[in-house]
């Protein structure tokens, strides 16, 4: 499932920023709220070995250019083998955004999941529904 990222667009210059902002950073006009899909390309990334208080080392940080236009700051579980321009998906875990690197193995898995037997597809749908219900309940509890 692809996450939906809340963003905003400048009516004058079409710049999209995420998370949404009241005013365009480059124009004194109110931005319009939009949402963009949580997939994009790695613009740059780093690994911090002395992260600030409240974060664990090593801390992976990346800037991702989302398909909807906004550049997005997020965490990652790993940056080894990661390249600028790599396709990634954004996932929210506990309201913190992570990129997940779509490596060769992940791409293959995605492909097989799509091309797999009907039974497996049903399984996948069931898992996805279960996950959604679980998330919904979590949200309700909050």
Burial bucket for residue 125 (CB in 10 Å: 0-12, 13-18, 19+): exposed
> Shortest approach of another protein to residue 4 CB, angstroms?
18
Q: Which of 72, 88, 89, 99 binds another protein (CB under 8 A)?
A: 72
Q: Which range touches another protein (CB under 8 A), out of 50-58, 107-115, 118-126, 132-140?
A: 50-58
**3-state secondary structure string, 97-127?**
EEEEECCHHHHHHHHHHHHCCHHHHHHHHHH
| Nearer residue to another protein within complex by CB, 71 or 87 | 71
Residues in region 117-136 near another protein by CB under 8 A: none
Report the distance separating Cα 39 and Cα 106, nearest Å. Answer: 14
Report the distance separating Cα 72 and Cα 133, nearest Å. Answer: 27
User: Binding to another protein by residue 43, rule CB under 8 A?
Assistant: yes
Question: Per-residue contact track with another protein, 23 to 42, x per CB under 8 A?
Answer: --xx----------------
């Amino acid at each position: 499932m692809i996450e939906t990222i809340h963003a905003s667009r400048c009516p004058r210059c079409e710049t999209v920023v995420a998370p949404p902002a009241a005013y365009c950073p480059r124009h004194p006009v109110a931005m319009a709220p939009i949402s963009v899909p949580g997939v994009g390309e790695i613009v740059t990334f780093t690994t911090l070995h002395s992260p600030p208080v409240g974060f664990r080392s090593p801390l992976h940080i990346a800037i991702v250019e989302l398909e909807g236009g906004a550049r997005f700051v997020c965490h990652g579980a790993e940056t080894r083998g990661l390249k600028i321009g790599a396709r990634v998906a954004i996932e929210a875990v506990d309201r913190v955004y992570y990129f997940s690197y779509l490596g060769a193995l992940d791409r293959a898995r995605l492909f097989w999941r799509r091309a797999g037997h009907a039974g497996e597809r049903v399984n996948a749908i069931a898992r996805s529904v279960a996950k959604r219900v679980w998330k919904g309940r979590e949200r309700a509890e909050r």
